[in-house]
Structure 1
Amino acid sequence: MAANDSNMPFIRNLASSERKTRISALESLRTFLSASAAASRLTHLDNLKLWKGLYYSLWMCDRPIPQQNLCAELAGLIDVLPDEAVGPWLAAFWETLGREWTGIDVLRLEKFMLLVRRVLGASLSWVCDVLPKATEAQAKETKKSRRRRDRIDALLENLAGWPLETQDNLSRVPVGLRLHVLDIWVDEVEKLGLLDAEKTGEAGRQFLDRLGLLVEAQTRSTCKPVRLRAKETLADDRLPWNADEAGDDEVGKSVQNGSGDKDSWDGFDD
Protein backbone atom coordinates (compact mmCIF):
# COMPACT_ATOMS: atom_id res chain seq x y z
CA MET A 1 0.00 0.00 0.00
CA ALA A 2 1.45 3.34 -0.99
CA ALA A 3 2.19 5.97 1.58
CA ASN A 4 -0.05 8.78 0.37
CA ASP A 5 0.86 12.44 0.63
CA SER A 6 -1.25 12.89 3.75
CA ASN A 7 1.14 10.51 5.54
CA MET A 8 4.13 12.51 4.28
CA PRO A 9 3.09 16.15 4.81
CA PHE A 10 6.75 17.20 4.94
CA ILE A 11 7.25 16.62 1.18
CA ARG A 12 6.24 20.14 0.17
CA ASN A 13 8.32 21.67 2.94
CA LEU A 14 11.48 19.98 1.67
CA ALA A 15 11.54 22.52 -1.16
CA SER A 16 10.60 25.52 0.97
CA SER A 17 12.45 28.78 0.42
CA GLU A 18 12.86 28.98 4.23
CA ARG A 19 15.93 27.14 5.49
CA LYS A 20 14.42 26.35 8.91
CA THR A 21 11.38 24.84 7.24
CA ARG A 22 13.58 22.66 5.02
CA ILE A 23 15.64 21.48 7.99
CA SER A 24 12.51 20.59 9.96
CA ALA A 25 11.07 18.72 6.98
CA LEU A 26 14.29 16.73 6.55
CA GLU A 27 14.24 15.75 10.23
CA SER A 28 10.63 14.59 9.81
CA LEU A 29 11.61 12.56 6.75
CA ARG A 30 14.47 10.88 8.62
CA THR A 31 12.08 9.93 11.42
CA PHE A 32 9.56 8.63 8.88
CA LEU A 33 12.14 6.52 7.03
CA SER A 34 13.56 5.09 10.25
CA ALA A 35 10.22 3.36 10.84
CA SER A 36 10.85 0.12 8.95
CA ALA A 37 7.18 -0.59 8.34
CA ALA A 38 6.60 2.82 6.74
CA ALA A 39 9.76 2.73 4.64
CA SER A 40 9.05 -0.78 3.38
CA ARG A 41 5.61 0.28 2.11
CA LEU A 42 6.96 3.10 -0.05
CA THR A 43 6.24 2.64 -3.74
CA HIS A 44 8.48 3.78 -6.55
CA LEU A 45 6.21 6.79 -7.00
CA ASP A 46 6.51 7.61 -3.29
CA ASN A 47 10.30 7.49 -3.52
CA LEU A 48 10.25 9.69 -6.63
CA LYS A 49 8.12 12.29 -4.82
CA LEU A 50 10.50 12.28 -1.88
CA TRP A 51 13.58 12.63 -4.06
CA LYS A 52 11.96 15.43 -6.02
CA GLY A 53 11.49 17.27 -2.74
CA LEU A 54 15.07 16.51 -1.68
CA TYR A 55 16.38 17.61 -5.07
CA TYR A 56 14.76 21.00 -4.67
CA SER A 57 15.90 21.17 -1.06
CA LEU A 58 19.47 21.13 -2.33
CA TRP A 59 18.53 23.44 -5.22
CA MET A 60 17.38 26.05 -2.68
CA CYS A 61 20.41 25.61 -0.41
CA ASP A 62 23.02 28.36 -0.69
CA ARG A 63 26.63 28.69 0.52
CA PRO A 64 29.25 25.92 0.38
CA ILE A 65 29.24 24.65 3.98
CA PRO A 66 25.43 24.22 4.24
CA GLN A 67 25.47 22.58 0.81
CA GLN A 68 28.17 20.13 1.87
CA ASN A 69 26.33 19.32 5.08
CA LEU A 70 23.05 18.80 3.26
CA CYS A 71 24.64 16.47 0.69
CA ALA A 72 26.04 14.36 3.53
CA GLU A 73 22.65 14.29 5.26
CA LEU A 74 20.81 13.25 2.10
CA ALA A 75 23.31 10.48 1.40
CA GLY A 76 23.08 9.35 5.00
CA LEU A 77 19.36 8.61 4.71
CA ILE A 78 20.40 5.19 3.38
CA ASP A 79 21.56 4.30 6.89
CA VAL A 80 18.09 4.57 8.43
CA LEU A 81 16.36 2.46 5.77
CA PRO A 82 15.68 -1.27 6.10
CA ASP A 83 17.72 -3.32 3.62
CA GLU A 84 14.78 -4.10 1.36
CA ALA A 85 14.02 -0.38 0.90
CA VAL A 86 17.54 0.71 -0.10
CA GLY A 87 17.44 -0.54 -3.70
CA PRO A 88 14.16 1.23 -4.55
CA TRP A 89 15.35 4.37 -2.72
CA LEU A 90 18.54 4.52 -4.78
CA ALA A 91 16.71 3.76 -8.02
CA ALA A 92 14.46 6.78 -7.39
CA PHE A 93 17.54 8.91 -6.64
CA TRP A 94 19.27 8.00 -9.92
CA GLU A 95 16.05 8.38 -11.92
CA THR A 96 15.52 11.85 -10.43
CA LEU A 97 19.10 12.96 -11.12
CA GLY A 98 18.96 11.47 -14.60
CA ARG A 99 15.77 13.38 -15.36
CA GLU A 100 17.04 16.69 -13.98
CA TRP A 101 20.75 16.57 -14.85
CA THR A 102 20.72 18.38 -18.18
CA GLY A 103 18.59 21.17 -16.69
CA ILE A 104 21.00 22.02 -13.86
CA ASP A 105 22.66 25.36 -14.53
CA VAL A 106 26.41 25.74 -14.26
CA LEU A 107 26.18 27.71 -10.99
CA ARG A 108 24.39 24.81 -9.26
CA LEU A 109 26.09 21.87 -10.95
CA GLU A 110 28.93 21.55 -8.45
CA LYS A 111 26.65 20.89 -5.48
CA PHE A 112 24.73 18.22 -7.38
CA MET A 113 28.00 16.60 -8.43
CA LEU A 114 28.88 16.49 -4.73
CA LEU A 115 25.51 14.91 -3.96
CA VAL A 116 26.20 12.16 -6.52
CA ARG A 117 29.61 11.53 -4.95
CA ARG A 118 28.16 11.35 -1.45
CA VAL A 119 25.30 9.02 -2.45
CA LEU A 120 27.64 6.72 -4.37
CA GLY A 121 30.01 6.66 -1.40
CA ALA A 122 27.16 5.90 1.02
CA SER A 123 25.91 3.13 -1.27
CA LEU A 124 29.33 1.47 -1.37
CA SER A 125 29.69 1.90 2.39
CA TRP A 126 26.33 0.16 2.85
CA VAL A 127 27.88 -2.91 1.22
CA CYS A 128 31.24 -2.57 3.00
CA ASP A 129 29.47 -2.61 6.36
CA VAL A 130 28.63 -6.30 5.86
CA LEU A 131 31.85 -7.44 4.18
CA PRO A 132 33.90 -9.79 6.37
CA LYS A 133 37.36 -8.71 7.40
CA ALA A 134 40.25 -10.49 5.69
CA THR A 135 41.15 -12.23 8.97
CA GLU A 136 37.70 -13.74 9.40
CA ALA A 137 37.28 -17.35 8.39
CA GLN A 138 34.94 -18.04 5.50
CA ALA A 139 31.99 -19.77 7.15
CA LYS A 140 29.15 -21.67 5.58
CA GLU A 141 26.02 -19.85 4.46
CA THR A 142 24.65 -17.88 7.39
CA LYS A 143 22.10 -15.16 7.90
CA LYS A 144 24.94 -12.62 7.82
CA SER A 145 26.40 -14.00 4.58
CA ARG A 146 22.97 -14.01 2.93
CA ARG A 147 22.53 -10.39 3.99
CA ARG A 148 25.92 -9.58 2.48
CA ARG A 149 25.03 -11.30 -0.78
CA ASP A 150 21.66 -9.55 -0.94
CA ARG A 151 23.22 -6.12 -0.38
CA ILE A 152 25.89 -6.68 -3.02
CA ASP A 153 23.35 -7.93 -5.56
CA ALA A 154 20.97 -5.07 -4.81
CA LEU A 155 23.63 -2.39 -5.25
CA LEU A 156 25.17 -3.86 -8.40
CA GLU A 157 21.76 -4.32 -10.01
CA ASN A 158 20.97 -0.72 -9.12
CA LEU A 159 24.21 0.59 -10.63
CA ALA A 160 23.76 -1.58 -13.73
CA GLY A 161 20.29 -0.15 -14.21
CA TRP A 162 21.24 3.51 -13.77
CA PRO A 163 24.64 5.28 -13.56
CA LEU A 164 26.56 2.33 -15.02
CA GLU A 165 23.63 1.28 -17.20
CA THR A 166 24.73 -1.61 -19.41
CA GLN A 167 22.24 -1.36 -22.30
CA ASP A 168 23.79 1.88 -23.60
CA ASN A 169 20.49 3.72 -23.30
CA LEU A 170 21.80 7.28 -23.41
CA SER A 171 18.30 8.67 -22.95
CA ARG A 172 18.02 6.89 -19.59
CA VAL A 173 21.22 8.26 -18.06
CA PRO A 174 22.69 11.49 -19.45
CA VAL A 175 26.28 11.35 -20.66
CA GLY A 176 27.40 14.01 -18.17
CA LEU A 177 26.09 11.99 -15.24
CA ARG A 178 27.75 8.81 -16.52
CA LEU A 179 31.06 10.62 -16.92
CA HIS A 180 30.89 12.02 -13.40
CA VAL A 181 30.29 8.56 -11.89
CA LEU A 182 33.17 7.17 -13.94
CA ASP A 183 35.36 10.01 -12.65
CA ILE A 184 34.68 9.34 -8.97
CA TRP A 185 34.14 5.60 -8.46
CA VAL A 186 37.81 4.69 -7.91
CA ASP A 187 38.22 7.49 -5.36
CA GLU A 188 35.17 6.28 -3.45
CA VAL A 189 36.22 2.61 -3.30
CA GLU A 190 39.68 3.72 -2.18
CA LYS A 191 38.21 5.78 0.68
CA LEU A 192 36.44 2.68 1.95
CA GLY A 193 39.58 0.53 1.84
CA LEU A 194 38.30 -1.72 -0.92
CA LEU A 195 41.63 -1.46 -2.72
CA ASP A 196 43.48 -2.94 0.25
CA ALA A 197 43.30 -6.72 -0.10
CA GLU A 198 44.78 -7.20 3.38
CA LYS A 199 41.73 -5.47 4.87
CA THR A 200 38.89 -6.61 2.63
CA GLY A 201 39.93 -10.16 1.78
CA GLU A 202 38.34 -12.34 -0.87
CA ALA A 203 34.80 -11.01 -0.44
CA GLY A 204 35.92 -7.42 -0.92
CA ARG A 205 37.94 -8.32 -4.01
CA GLN A 206 35.01 -10.22 -5.54
CA PHE A 207 32.75 -7.22 -5.00
CA LEU A 208 35.33 -4.89 -6.55
CA ASP A 209 35.74 -7.20 -9.55
CA ARG A 210 32.00 -7.24 -10.18
CA LEU A 211 31.90 -3.47 -9.92
CA GLY A 212 34.84 -3.26 -12.33
CA LEU A 213 32.96 -5.36 -14.87
CA LEU A 214 30.11 -2.83 -14.85
CA VAL A 215 32.63 -0.11 -15.63
CA GLU A 216 34.20 -2.32 -18.30
CA ALA A 217 30.80 -2.55 -19.99
CA GLN A 218 30.98 1.22 -20.51
CA THR A 219 34.02 0.72 -22.78
CA ARG A 220 31.57 -0.60 -25.39
CA SER A 221 29.30 2.44 -25.28
CA THR A 222 28.32 4.12 -28.54
CA CYS A 223 29.39 7.39 -26.89
CA LYS A 224 33.11 7.92 -27.40
CA PRO A 225 33.70 10.11 -24.28
CA VAL A 226 32.10 7.40 -22.13
CA ARG A 227 34.25 4.69 -23.73
CA LEU A 228 37.45 6.66 -23.22
CA ARG A 229 36.66 7.67 -19.65
CA ALA A 230 35.79 4.08 -18.69
CA LYS A 231 39.09 2.82 -20.12
CA GLU A 232 41.01 5.52 -18.29
CA THR A 233 39.48 4.65 -14.92
CA LEU A 234 39.98 0.92 -15.39
CA ALA A 235 43.68 1.59 -16.06
CA ASP A 236 44.05 3.45 -12.75
CA ASP A 237 47.21 2.19 -11.01
CA ARG A 238 45.35 1.96 -7.71
CA LEU A 239 43.11 -0.85 -8.95
CA PRO A 240 44.31 -4.34 -8.00
CA TRP A 241 43.96 -5.92 -11.43
CA ASN A 242 46.52 -3.45 -12.77
CA ALA A 243 48.97 -4.72 -10.15
CA ASP A 244 48.16 -8.40 -10.80
CA GLU A 245 50.70 -10.07 -13.05
CA ALA A 246 49.59 -9.71 -16.69
CA GLY A 247 46.14 -8.65 -15.50
CA ASP A 248 45.41 -12.34 -14.99
CA ASP A 249 41.88 -12.09 -13.61
CA GLU A 250 38.39 -11.61 -15.02
CA VAL A 251 38.47 -7.82 -15.01
CA GLY A 252 42.05 -7.58 -16.22
CA LYS A 253 41.37 -9.89 -19.15
CA SER A 254 38.18 -8.03 -20.03
CA VAL A 255 40.01 -4.72 -20.05
CA GLN A 256 42.85 -6.08 -22.18
CA ASN A 257 40.53 -7.86 -24.58
CA GLY A 258 37.93 -5.09 -24.69
CA SER A 259 37.15 -2.80 -27.57
CA GLY A 260 40.86 -2.49 -28.40
CA ASP A 261 41.43 -0.20 -31.37
CA LYS A 262 37.83 0.90 -31.56
CA ASP A 263 38.79 4.43 -30.59
CA SER A 264 41.61 4.78 -33.10
CA TRP A 265 39.13 6.14 -35.66
CA ASP A 266 35.40 6.40 -35.33
CA GLY A 267 34.78 8.99 -38.00
CA PHE A 268 33.14 12.19 -36.92
CA ASP A 269 30.78 12.19 -33.97
CA ASP A 270 27.39 13.69 -34.64
Structure 2
Amino acid sequence: MSDKPLIQQQLANDLAALILDVPEDNVLPFISIFWQVHCEEWHGLDRFRLDKYLLLFRRIVFYSFCWLAQNDWDQVKVEAYTRLLLEGPLHPTDRKKPDAIVYHILEIYFEELEKVVEIQQQQQQDDFTVPIDLLKQPIIVLSTDALNKTTRIKAKQILLEYDTKQNNDMEDDSD
Protein backbone atom coordinates (compact mmCIF):
# COMPACT_ATOMS: atom_id res chain seq x y z
CA MET A 1 0.00 0.00 0.00
CA SER A 2 3.04 2.29 0.14
CA ASP A 3 3.34 4.94 -2.55
CA LYS A 4 7.08 5.38 -2.10
CA PRO A 5 8.83 3.94 -5.17
CA LEU A 6 11.90 2.58 -3.36
CA ILE A 7 9.73 0.69 -0.88
CA GLN A 8 7.59 -0.69 -3.72
CA GLN A 9 10.67 -1.78 -5.65
CA GLN A 10 12.22 -3.46 -2.62
CA LEU A 11 9.01 -5.30 -1.80
CA ALA A 12 8.60 -6.51 -5.40
CA ASN A 13 12.19 -7.71 -5.38
CA ASP A 14 11.86 -9.42 -1.99
CA LEU A 15 8.64 -11.19 -2.96
CA ALA A 16 10.01 -12.40 -6.29
CA ALA A 17 13.31 -13.47 -4.73
CA LEU A 18 11.34 -16.01 -2.69
CA ILE A 19 11.64 -18.18 -5.81
CA LEU A 20 15.27 -18.75 -4.85
CA ASP A 21 14.43 -19.45 -1.19
CA VAL A 22 11.60 -21.96 -1.37
CA PRO A 23 12.49 -25.67 -1.40
CA GLU A 24 13.43 -26.92 -4.87
CA ASP A 25 10.32 -29.09 -5.22
CA ASN A 26 8.10 -26.08 -4.51
CA VAL A 27 9.56 -23.58 -6.98
CA LEU A 28 7.36 -24.42 -9.96
CA PRO A 29 4.17 -24.76 -7.87
CA PHE A 30 5.02 -21.40 -6.23
CA ILE A 31 5.40 -19.71 -9.63
CA SER A 32 2.30 -21.42 -10.99
CA ILE A 33 0.10 -20.33 -8.08
CA PHE A 34 1.55 -16.82 -8.26
CA TRP A 35 0.40 -16.49 -11.89
CA GLN A 36 -2.93 -18.20 -11.21
CA VAL A 37 -3.82 -15.81 -8.39
CA HIS A 38 -2.71 -12.71 -10.27
CA CYS A 39 -4.56 -13.68 -13.45
CA GLU A 40 -7.74 -14.31 -11.46
CA GLU A 41 -7.48 -11.09 -9.45
CA TRP A 42 -6.18 -8.79 -12.19
CA HIS A 43 -9.52 -7.18 -13.04
CA GLY A 44 -10.12 -6.32 -9.39
CA LEU A 45 -7.04 -4.11 -9.14
CA ASP A 46 -7.48 -0.39 -9.31
CA ARG A 47 -5.54 1.40 -12.00
CA PHE A 48 -3.36 3.20 -9.44
CA ARG A 49 -1.77 -0.09 -8.39
CA LEU A 50 -1.03 -1.49 -11.85
CA ASP A 51 2.55 -0.21 -12.04
CA LYS A 52 3.36 -1.91 -8.74
CA TYR A 53 2.07 -5.23 -10.03
CA LEU A 54 3.79 -4.90 -13.40
CA LEU A 55 7.08 -4.39 -11.57
CA LEU A 56 6.37 -7.46 -9.46
CA PHE A 57 5.67 -9.48 -12.63
CA ARG A 58 8.97 -8.32 -14.11
CA ARG A 59 10.82 -9.42 -10.98
CA ILE A 60 9.04 -12.81 -10.98
CA VAL A 61 10.13 -13.43 -14.57
CA PHE A 62 13.69 -12.34 -13.69
CA TYR A 63 13.95 -14.61 -10.65
CA SER A 64 12.37 -17.49 -12.56
CA PHE A 65 15.22 -17.22 -15.04
CA CYS A 66 17.69 -16.89 -12.14
CA TRP A 67 16.38 -20.17 -10.77
CA LEU A 68 16.83 -21.85 -14.15
CA ALA A 69 20.36 -20.43 -14.39
CA GLN A 70 21.19 -21.72 -10.91
CA ASN A 71 20.12 -25.13 -12.14
CA ASP A 72 22.44 -24.84 -15.17
CA TRP A 73 19.49 -24.43 -17.51
CA ASP A 74 18.47 -28.04 -16.89
CA GLN A 75 16.34 -29.10 -19.85
CA VAL A 76 13.68 -30.80 -17.71
CA LYS A 77 13.28 -27.69 -15.55
CA VAL A 78 13.22 -25.35 -18.55
CA GLU A 79 10.57 -27.52 -20.23
CA ALA A 80 8.53 -27.56 -17.01
CA TYR A 81 8.83 -23.78 -16.69
CA THR A 82 7.77 -23.08 -20.27
CA ARG A 83 4.89 -25.56 -19.91
CA LEU A 84 3.88 -23.73 -16.71
CA LEU A 85 3.74 -20.45 -18.64
CA LEU A 86 1.70 -22.00 -21.46
CA GLU A 87 -0.74 -23.57 -19.01
CA GLY A 88 -0.83 -20.40 -16.93
CA PRO A 89 -0.53 -16.74 -17.90
CA LEU A 90 0.45 -17.37 -21.54
CA HIS A 91 -2.24 -19.94 -22.29
CA PRO A 92 -3.00 -19.33 -25.97
CA THR A 93 -6.72 -20.18 -25.88
CA ASP A 94 -7.86 -19.29 -22.36
CA ARG A 95 -9.84 -16.08 -22.69
CA LYS A 96 -9.75 -15.64 -18.90
CA LYS A 97 -6.06 -14.73 -19.00
CA PRO A 98 -5.84 -10.93 -18.94
CA ASP A 99 -4.37 -9.50 -22.12
CA ALA A 100 -2.47 -6.92 -20.08
CA ILE A 101 -0.54 -9.66 -18.27
CA VAL A 102 0.12 -11.56 -21.51
CA TYR A 103 1.38 -8.42 -23.25
CA HIS A 104 3.53 -7.41 -20.31
CA ILE A 105 5.19 -10.82 -20.14
CA LEU A 106 5.81 -10.67 -23.89
CA GLU A 107 7.42 -7.24 -23.53
CA ILE A 108 9.76 -8.19 -20.69
CA TYR A 109 10.46 -11.87 -21.34
CA PHE A 110 13.63 -11.58 -23.41
CA GLU A 111 14.82 -8.45 -21.57
CA GLU A 112 14.83 -10.33 -18.28
CA LEU A 113 16.37 -13.41 -19.86
CA GLU A 114 19.23 -11.32 -21.26
CA LYS A 115 19.85 -9.76 -17.83
CA VAL A 116 20.16 -13.18 -16.20
CA VAL A 117 22.42 -14.53 -18.95
CA GLU A 118 24.65 -11.46 -18.66
CA ILE A 119 24.92 -11.88 -14.89
CA GLN A 120 25.69 -15.57 -15.32
CA GLN A 121 28.40 -14.78 -17.88
CA GLN A 122 30.03 -12.34 -15.47
CA GLN A 123 29.93 -14.77 -12.56
CA GLN A 124 30.98 -17.99 -14.26
CA GLN A 125 34.28 -18.91 -15.77
CA ASP A 126 32.87 -22.02 -17.45
CA ASP A 127 30.90 -22.05 -20.64
CA PHE A 128 27.21 -22.73 -20.31
CA THR A 129 24.45 -23.26 -22.79
CA VAL A 130 21.13 -21.48 -22.56
CA PRO A 131 18.39 -23.51 -24.30
CA ILE A 132 17.01 -20.56 -26.24
CA ASP A 133 14.81 -22.71 -28.48
CA LEU A 134 13.05 -24.14 -25.43
CA LEU A 135 12.75 -20.74 -23.79
CA LYS A 136 11.28 -19.24 -26.96
CA GLN A 137 8.59 -21.93 -27.11
CA PRO A 138 5.85 -20.07 -25.17
CA ILE A 139 6.25 -17.03 -27.43
CA ILE A 140 6.26 -19.21 -30.55
CA VAL A 141 3.08 -20.94 -29.42
CA LEU A 142 1.40 -17.58 -28.81
CA SER A 143 2.52 -16.36 -32.23
CA THR A 144 0.66 -19.22 -33.92
CA ASP A 145 -2.06 -20.45 -31.57
CA ALA A 146 -3.34 -17.44 -29.65
CA LEU A 147 -7.04 -16.80 -30.21
CA ASN A 148 -6.44 -13.07 -30.12
CA LYS A 149 -4.98 -11.81 -33.42
CA THR A 150 -3.29 -8.90 -31.65
CA THR A 151 -1.50 -11.36 -29.37
CA ARG A 152 -0.31 -13.42 -32.34
CA ILE A 153 1.01 -10.30 -34.05
CA LYS A 154 2.69 -9.02 -30.89
CA ALA A 155 4.33 -12.41 -30.23
CA LYS A 156 5.65 -12.55 -33.81
CA GLN A 157 6.99 -9.02 -33.44
CA ILE A 158 8.74 -9.88 -30.14
CA LEU A 159 10.34 -12.98 -31.70
CA LEU A 160 11.48 -11.03 -34.75
CA GLU A 161 12.98 -8.27 -32.60
CA TYR A 162 14.78 -10.81 -30.41
CA ASP A 163 16.14 -12.79 -33.36
CA THR A 164 17.27 -9.60 -35.10
CA LYS A 165 19.04 -8.41 -31.96
CA GLN A 166 20.72 -11.80 -31.49
CA ASN A 167 21.91 -11.79 -35.12
CA ASN A 168 23.25 -8.25 -34.77
CA ASP A 169 25.05 -9.19 -31.55
CA MET A 170 26.62 -12.19 -33.27
CA GLU A 171 27.80 -10.00 -36.15
CA ASP A 172 29.28 -7.49 -33.69
CA ASP A 173 31.13 -10.27 -31.86
CA SER A 174 32.63 -11.59 -35.09
CA ASP A 175 33.98 -8.19 -36.12
**Structure 2 length as normaliser, TM-score?**
0.83
In the TM superposition, what is the alpha-carbon distance from 1:123 to its structure 2 partner? Answer: 0.3
Deviation at 1:243, TM superposition (A): 7.4
Q: State the alpha-carbon separation in 2 of the partners of residues 69 and 216 from structure 1.
A: 33
Number of the residue aligned with 2:148? 223
For 2:113 and 2:169, locate their aligned partners in 1 and report how far apart those are by CA, in whole Å: 16
Residues in 2 aligned to 1:79 and 1:164: alpha-carbon distance in whole angstroms: 22
CA contact (8 A) 1:83 1:151 kept: no
Matched, 1:238 2:162: no
Relative contact order, CA 8 A, sep 6+: which one is greater?
A: 2
CA gap 1:178/1:201 in 2 versus in 1, 3 angstroms:
farther
Distance 1:219 1:179 in 2: 12
Match of 2:173 in 1: none
Gaps of 5+ in 1: 1-59, 133-147, 245-270
- The residue type equivalent to 1:123 in the other structure is S
Q: Is the 8 A contact 1:94 1:162 kept in 2?
A: yes
Q: TM-score, normalised by structure 1?
A: 0.55
Which 4+ runs in 1 deviate beyond 6 A? none
Structure 1 CA distance for aligned equivalents of residues 83 and 137 of structure 2: 12
The amino acid that maps onto 1:214 is P
Instruction: Provide closer, same or farther for how the CA distance between residues 149 and 209 of structure 1 changes in structure 2, counting only shifts above 3 A.
Output: closer
Measure, in 2, the Cα distance between the counterparts of 1:106 and 1:76. Answer: 25
Q: CA deviation at 1:193?
A: 2.0
**1:176 correspondence with 2:103:** no
Match of 1:164 in 2: 90
Q: Deviations over 1:77-124 (max 9, x none)?
A: 111111110111111100011011122222110010000000010001
**RMSD between superposed Cα atoms in Å:** 2.5
Inter-partner Cα distance in structure 1 for 2:43 and 2:157: 24
Q: Deviations over 1:198-243 (max 9, x none)?
A: x896731xx2211212101111212122112101110112245x87
Task: Report the equivalent of 1:257.
Answer: none
| Paired residue secondary structure (1:193) | helix
2:138 maps to which of 214, 225, 249? 214
Structure 2 vs 1, CA of residues 65 and 150 (structure 1 numbering), >3 Å: closer, same or farther?
Answer: same
The CA distance in 2 between the partners of 1:163 and 1:243, in whole Å, is: 30
> Aligned AA for 1:78?
I
**Partner of 1:143 in structure 2?**
none
Alpha-carbon distance in structure 2 between the residues aligned to 1:76 and 1:216: 27
Max radius of gyration: which structure?
1
Q: Distance in 1 between matches of 2:38 and 2:166?
A: 28
Q: Which has the higher helix share?
A: 2
Q: Which amino acid aligns with 2:87?
A: G
- Runs of at least 5 residues in structure 2 that lack an aligned partner in the other structure: 171-175
Partner of 1:118: 59
- The structural deviation recorded for 1:61 is 3.0
Residue in 2 that maps onto 1:106: 47
C-alpha displacement of 1:149 = 3.5
Matching of residue 69 in structure 1 with residue 10 in structure 2: yes
When residues 149 and 82 of structure 1 are mapped into structure 2, their CA distance, relative to the original with a 3 A threshold, is farther
Aligned residue pair count: 164
SS in 1 for 2:165: coil
How far residue 74 of structure 1 moved from its aligned partner, in angstroms, is: 0.2
Structure 1 residues 29-40: aligned runs within 5 Å: none
User: Which residue is equivalent to 1:192?
Assistant: 116
